Amino acid sequence: MAVLSVISGIFHEATSIIGAIFVVAGIIAVIAGLIERASFSRKERTFEASQMPEKRAKRIAVITGASSGIGQKYARIVSEKSEKFGIDEVWLIARRKEKLEETAAGLAIPSKVIPLDVTSQSVPERLRNELASEENVCVTFLANCAGFGKYGSSAEVGHEEECRMIALNDSAAITITDVLVPYMRPGARIAQICSVAAFQPIPFFNAYAASKALLYSYSRALRIELLKKGISVTAVSPYWVKDTEFISTAAGEQRKLLLSSKSESVARVSLHDVLHRHALSTPGIVCTAERFFAGILPDELLAYIMPLFL
Ligand SMILES: NC(=O)c1ccc[n+]([C@@H]2O[C@H](COP(=O)([O-])OP(=O)(O)OC[C@H]3O[C@@H](n4cnc5c(N)ncnc54)[C@H](OP(=O)(O)O)[C@@H]3O)[C@@H](O)[C@H]2O)c1
């Protein structure tokens, strides 16, 4: 009995301490978030006040992966909310020109179609040339939506496809961000489309999850680095989205996946978070719950659970 009461006492103390740590960490995170957002707004206001109205630059939104899925929805929604996002023109990037033209046809503001494989070596030069061809431009919004994944073991997916995933999901997103940040002014926003796959290792979706973990970590760190420039970075981490080309590309066929969301709601919720300069957007109940459990459960356990959701 005495031993039991000692164990119960230790358990009680431990849970109280862990609970207190969670509460204190939560309060610190909320306060830090509020300070960050106040800092973005102050820098944007100071910059706007210093601008002569007649010298105002054309404000560009650059969206990769705009020929389909989430990127296509992003283009439409930011064009509808162009005042809130501070955008005069949307630049649409992906490989399929005719699909980009379809996206462009549905936009509420002018756009430019840029058919481009974002993994190609010529991307920095091409983007700098496009910007140089305009008289006076700045980039106020960047969304890196281009991305793909492949199901299967590492051996099944193969080395070449794994490298292609890293080239598109990571190298291309980082390259485009590096090229465009110098053209951004205080108040600009960056959205990096990551995934819930970023939060833990996923066997049989291995390289994809790892590539999204890299992009997620990069985005969270870049947010702090760009704080002094007044540019916000939001890591967007959705769960399965059923009405895009992603799942058919990943699996070789369209699959029905439990609790998957629609691209319209994912785009709307995440753009609301981007607009409000959140560090992380989990646009839906499932991805929010997944983020929570990934934060408290060990990777050793999650690595066995996650393949059940593929
Ligand atoms: N759907 C999901 O379940 C899900 C869940 C979590 C995260 N995500 C992430 O969300 C992002 C958008 O995916 P989605 O669901 O909208 O998929 P999607 O419909 O397949 O869209 C992918 C986009 O990327 C473009 N793209 C692919 N390779 C490219 C390249 N080399 N150069 C330029 N553009 C390229 C595609 O256009 P072209 O083929 O015309 O080049 C397309 O516009 C991806 O980063 C994905 O990882 C998706």
Q: What is the pLDDT along the chain (310 residues), one digit of tens a residue?
A: 677 777 877 877 887 888 788 888 888 888 888 888 788 878 887 777 777 666 789 999 999 999 999 999 999 999 999 999 999 999 999 999 999 999 999 999 999 999 999 999 999 999 999 999 999 999 999 999 999 999 999 999 999 999 999 999 999 999 999 999 999 999 999 999 999 999 999 999 999 999 999 999 999 999 999 999 999 999 999 999 999 999 999 998 877 777 899 999 999 999 999 999 999 999 999 999 999 999 999 999 999 999 988 8
Rounded distance from Cα 247 to ligand 1 centre (Å):
10
Q: How many CB atoms lie within 10 A of CB 114?
A: 18
| DSSP strand pairing (184-193 vs 232-236) | parallel
What CATH number is given for 57-309 in this structure?
3.40.50.720
Helix (H) or strand (E) segment spanning residue 13? helix 2-50
Place of tokens 């501070």: 86
Q: Which residues lie below 8 Å from residue 116, measured CB to CB, with a gap of 6+?
A: 93, 94, 95, 123, 126
The rounded distance, in Å, linking the Cα atoms of 65 and 95 is 8
Phi-psi region of 269 (alpha: psi -120 to 50; beta: other; left: phi over 0): alpha
Q: How much is the pTM?
A: 0.92
198: Cβ below 6 Å to ligand 1?
no
Pocket lining: 241 vs ligand 1, CB cutoff 6 Å: yes
In the chain, where the domains are located? 1-50, 57-309
Q: Is the CB of 266 under 6 A from ligand 1?
A: no
Q: How far is the CA of 38 from the centre of ligand 1 (A)?
A: 33
Ligand 1 within 6 A of 244 CB?
A: yes
For residue 149, the CA-to-ligand 1 centroid distance in Å is 9
Q: In angstroms, what is the span from residue 16 Cα to ligand 1's centroid?
A: 44
